[in-house]
Amino acid sequence: MTEIVAAAVLLIVLPLVFNAAFIGLAMTFDYPDILRRPTAEVLERFRRGGPRLVLLWWVFAMTAVLLALLAGLLPFALLGAESTLLSVGSLVGVLAALVQFLGLIRWPFLVPYLARAEAEADASPARKESIDVVFQAFNRYLGVAVGEHLGLLFTGAWSILVGVSITQTYLLPDWLGIVGIVAGAVLVLCSFEFVGPFERAGWALAAHLTPVAYVVWSLWLVATGVFLLL
């Protein structure tokens, strides 16, 4: 019973913290739209945010740690589900947390340095150009490829596996599992926003679906936690 309660609490806390941090970043940093603006503008806005913005990014990155804890704990709460499915789901969930963490952790540690370096009075045009290249390279690699593509891909796959497991357990209603499967499938689809022919400008359909999918995914996690507590 202890594992069930702990998993239920994490299912409720994780989406609440995640969305609170996301909303905070949207209000104070115009995230994620700010990422489509020139590097100098992004770093200037980052400097204006000060230590409070850096801490907010750190909290946002720590939600990935909560996801790893949830992925490791949830198999002990879904009694009656197939053990192999639960084990695979746990592994995929930890991978989802890892790539999300790697994608986000650049903001509270790398970006502050780049923002300070870009604002130095004696920074030459060549130095500012190199800062632009470094920022955009990390943004495309850790942000788009690792954090967004792999993050959405593994998070969606984990949600599908958890949804299937929910349909096998006697603790939760089947419809809750179906919602998880559908939400996970949409997240997997959205993970291809910048893949192949969409690499340069992005896939508009995925860009519109991603925020909706995350809202549904968050509500699904909370609902699953509530049902486990009941």
Q: Average of pLDDT values for 45-70?
A: 97
pLDDT tens for 74-93 read 999 998 899 999 999 999 99
**Rounded Cα gap, residues 139 and 14, in angstroms:** 25
pLDDT tens for 142-166 read 999 999 999 999 999 999 999 999 9
**Rounded Cα gap, residues 151 and 121, in angstroms:** 38
Domain ranges across the chain: 2-229
The per-residue pLDDT for 230 is 86
**The pTM of the whole model exceeds 0.85:** yes
The per-residue pLDDT for 122 is 78
Average pLDDT, the chain: 95
Q: Average of pLDDT values for 177-190?
A: 97
Q: Average of pLDDT values for 15-35?
A: 95
H/E segment holding residue 81: none
The per-residue pLDDT for 201 is 84
Instruction: Tell me: pLDDT of 113 over 90.
Output: yes
The per-residue pLDDT for 175 is 97
Instruction: Tell me: pLDDT of 123 over 90.
Output: no
Instruction: Tell me: pLDDT of 1 over 80.
Output: no
Name the amino acid, one letter, at 46. Answer: F
Among 148, 161, 163, which residue's Cα sits nearest to residue 210? 148
Among 154, 4, 149, 139, which residue's Cα sits nearest to residue 67? 154
Share of the chain above pLDDT 70, in %: 100
